Structure 1
Amino acid sequence: MIDLARQQLAHDADPLVVKVGTRCLTLPDGTLDECQVESIAEQLVRIGAGTTRRVVLVSSGAVGAGIGLLKLPERPTDLPSLQAAAAVGQCHLMESYNRAFQEHGLLAAQVLLTADDINDRRRYLNFRNAIRALFEYGAIPIVNENDTVRTAELSRTVGDNDQLAAMVTNALRAPLLVILTDVDGLYDGDPADESSQVIGMVEAIDESTTGFAVVGTHKSGPVLSKGGMLSKLQAASIATHAGESVILANGRSPNILVDLMAGEPLGTLIPGQGGRLAERKRWIGSAAMPIGALTLDAGAVEAVAERGKSLLPIGIKAITGIFDKGDLVSLIDEAGVEIARGLTNYDSSDLGKIMGQPSEAIADILGRAPYSVAVHRNDLALVRDAEGS
């Protein structure tokens, strides 16, 4: 039965971002499932046929495909071997996608990203413009995290392709993100339990929702991927907080994308929360990754979160991390709950000297006072709602 609300959501989904997980693309022995690649490509062509809908595919599977090609018994645990598997597998993955899309007269375009591409404002805008140019040429952008050069030791990492997909969704202001996995959606229990049911819609992501994700986590066969339902809900939180909607569905179901775009009530829908964020605030709150944290007292939390005020140095109780002026930092309360993110006007050294002090004292302490606030309200984006607090 067609769900009219979902049908309208699908109709408005331009651009549309689709994320496909490793388990949707690999066979039990870890090799790439060419038939599944062809199916995903064909469905993307079908849902765009006769419309102006633009589609971005965020595809995992490079490491899994590499594991199969290299005939490794399991997913490596050391970084160099993971990078080698990604390098081998990415070539095979893109060859398969390009061949599948060429059958329909289209070209696939490889877009590899790292966290630094998201965190750096200029590079973020460049990648977004490149995607838009690919739309103009009629190519299908296929995005993956650049695992070959990503280093696990760095703190500024995207995390996984679920969160990367959410960041791409926000960057493009795509109304809908479809995350395809190997289960039918978010269950109210273990998917292996026959009494468990798929939750058709989740109004907001909170502790009870993530609790379902932990209960519903199960794996079978070789470990080829690094995601999970909890990762997908974290990604959904990023996207929905910026006002975009997310659907979690089974990528192995025949014609799943075609059915979803027709408004079929499949999988789990998580609607966007509130209004859609302005582009700059969406980058601050949902795309870039903080590299430090400021702990706020109760008064500062109330001023920032409830009254939309700038953060003054006097409201800062502690500083975590080393950062420069203009870097993105998390604003947390005394319980450690993140309430906002923002671009700091001072580096961590100067901020450590003026925290807890009134703005009038900045010049005396630092010998200069270029800013009266630590983080201006125009450079702040609230994230507390997305945390469910």
Structure 2
Amino acid sequence: MTNSDVDRTALLADVRRVVVKVGSAVLTTGDGLNAMAIERLAAQLSALADRDLDVVLVSSGAVAAGRQRICERTQECLRDYSDMASRQAASAVGQGRLMHDYDEAFAKHGKVTAQVLLTRSGLKTRERFVNACNTLEKLLEWQVIPIINENDTVSTHELEFGDNDTLGAMCLVLTGADLFINLTSADGVFDRNPDDHPDAKPIPVIEDIAALDIEALCDGETNVGTGGMYSKLRAARRAAQLGVPTMIVSGRGNFDLPAAMDGVPCGTLVLPDDKAVSSKKFWLAYHDDPSGAVLVDKGAAKALLNRGKSLLPIGIRKVEGCFDRDALIFIKTLEGEELGVGMCNFSSSELERIKGKRSDELTAIIGPTPSDEAVHRDNMLLDAAI
């Protein structure tokens, strides 16, 4: 599972575009934004850009910046920001403050930045997703450093990314990046939670993250952000599926990203899968939360896993949830094991009527059908990291 002898230099030699995600635990203190952390991060990323690397930054910190600003102006330092309305309002106040600090910090190194605020709903349609890709590509062509954050002010709970680790992984396919760097408050990944186990050992390299029991490994979160190591490893697993390596390293103290790019061991390196999924399948699997599920029999599960087949209605035994056509759904065994996710050609009500039926029976039951397949293999990702 792990191997400290991986040739990092060779692995990173051909990297041309990198997505760097930094969380609130790195950027903030108990009083708000940490100006020194922002200055240090801007210097590090500018050094990467000076190596002709395209750099994309995914940054948290708007809510903390907003809290800080509100406290400075109103002295309401004890306000509760746990509800969504307060969090969104604080983000509205803090996003400008955060970008102002970034813009000034990068300008000291001759770099131009651009604010990009994304919502999950804005990436749900393929057309808008492609438009976001084109915009980011043009910014990088102009040698501008995009600074991406979720548009917390307008996101609803149902449509938010949930954490910027998830957003960072989505930005890999948005930008076509070939490296994901996740800056955290910890010195990489450990075999147990070091907060609870002082004897926890670091994991320098994760060769096969799909085989790693992330749930068992992670039982704690930072007290500032919404992520924690679980979300970072889940994002790394998604990156691995895309064929992109991930570096989970400390963003505190005297961290040195140029040295890390030269192969100097630090933190944890998560290796990519040998066989990468397409960007279309990646987007399909992770652009939305599944709306329901279908439970399939053993024959259908075998056909999906071993023969690369599409899922036909005849193999479906149970339908869970209420969803429309073209919804993203889970595909599970009758025992509840998740096989993957896919875009369903039928609504849940239609599937209830045609489950277990042969393809030549479908029209007689529900009328003209969009397809013989419930989920086509081209619109399916098995072993998805949901």
TM-score w.r.t. the length of structure 2 is 0.91
- 1:110 is displaced (CA, Å) by 1.0
Q: Does 1:382 align with 2:382?
A: yes
2:160 to 157, 160, 180: 157
The CA distance in 2 between the partners of 1:145 and 1:75, in whole Å, is 21
| Structure 1 equivalent of residue 74 of structure 2 | none
Amino acid at match of 2:177: A
Aligned 8 A contact 2:48 2:55 in 1: no
Equivalent position of 1:304 in the other structure: 304
Q: Which residue of 2 aligns with 1:46?
A: 47
Quick one: which of 79, 84, 89 aligns to 2:84?
A: 79
2:203 pairs with one of 178, 199, 224: 199
Separation in structure 2 between the aligned mates of residue 313 and residue 180 of structure 1, nearest angstrom? 44
Q: 2:119 aligns with which of 94, 114, 117?
A: 114
1:306 aligned counterpart, secondary structure: helix
Aligned to 1:212: 217
Shift of 1:207: 5.2
Deviations 1:126-178 (A, max 9, x none): 111111011111111111111111122x2x43221011101111333322111
Cα displacement (A) at 1:279 = 2.2
**Amino acid of the structure 2 residue aligned with 1:202:** I
For normalisation by structure 1, the TM-score amounts to 0.90
CA change 1:76–1:240 in 2 (3 A) is same
Structure 2 residues not aligned, in runs of 5+: 72-76
Deviations 1:272-310 (A, max 9, x none): 112222221222234443223222121111111221001
The aligned amino acid for 1:167 is M
User: Over the residues paired in the alignment, what is the CA RMSD in angstroms?
Assistant: 2.1
Aligned equivalents of 1:345, 1:213: Cα separation in 2:
36
- Whether contact under 8 Å (2:324, 2:348) holds in the other structure is yes
Deviation string 1:314-354 (CA, Å, 9 cap, x unpaired) is 11122233333223222122232321222222222222221
Q: Which one is further off, 248-257 or 191-200?
A: 191-200
Count of aligned pairs: 376
341-350 vs 189-198, which deviates more?
A: 189-198
Alpha-carbon offset, residue 380 of structure 1: 1.7
Alignment match, 1:33? 34
Deviation >6 Å, runs of 4+: none
Displacement of 1:372: 1.2
Letter in 2 for 1:235: A
Cα deviation for residue 4 of structure 1 reads 7.1
Residues 186 and 248 in structure 1, CA contact (< 8 A), matched pair in contact too: yes
SS at match of 1:70: helix
Report the CA distance between 1:76 and its aligned residue. 1.5
> Equivalents in 1 of 2:225, 2:102: separation in Å?
19
Equivalent position to 1:20, from 19, 22, 28: 22
Render the CA deviation track for 1:229-256: whole Å, top value 9, x for unaligned.
Answer: 1111111121112221111110003143
Structure 1 residue identity aligned to 2:353: K
Bigger mean CA deviation after superposition, 308-317 or 342-351? 342-351
Percent same amino acid at aligned positions?
Answer: 38
Q: What one-letter code is carried by the residue in structure 2 that aligns with 1:164?
A: L
Structure 1 residues 230 and 370, CA gap change in structure 2 (3 angstroms): closer
Q: Which residues of 2 match residues 1-389 of structure 1 at below 5 A? A: 5-27=7-29, 29-51=30-52, 53-71=53-71, 72-73=77-78, 76-152=81-157, 154=158, 156-192=159-195, 193-205=197-209, 206=211, 208-214=213-219, 217=220, 219=222, 223-383=223-383
The 1:187–1:50 alpha-carbon spacing in structure 2 relative to 1, beyond 3 Å, is closer
Alignment CA distance shift 1:218-1:370 (3 Å): closer
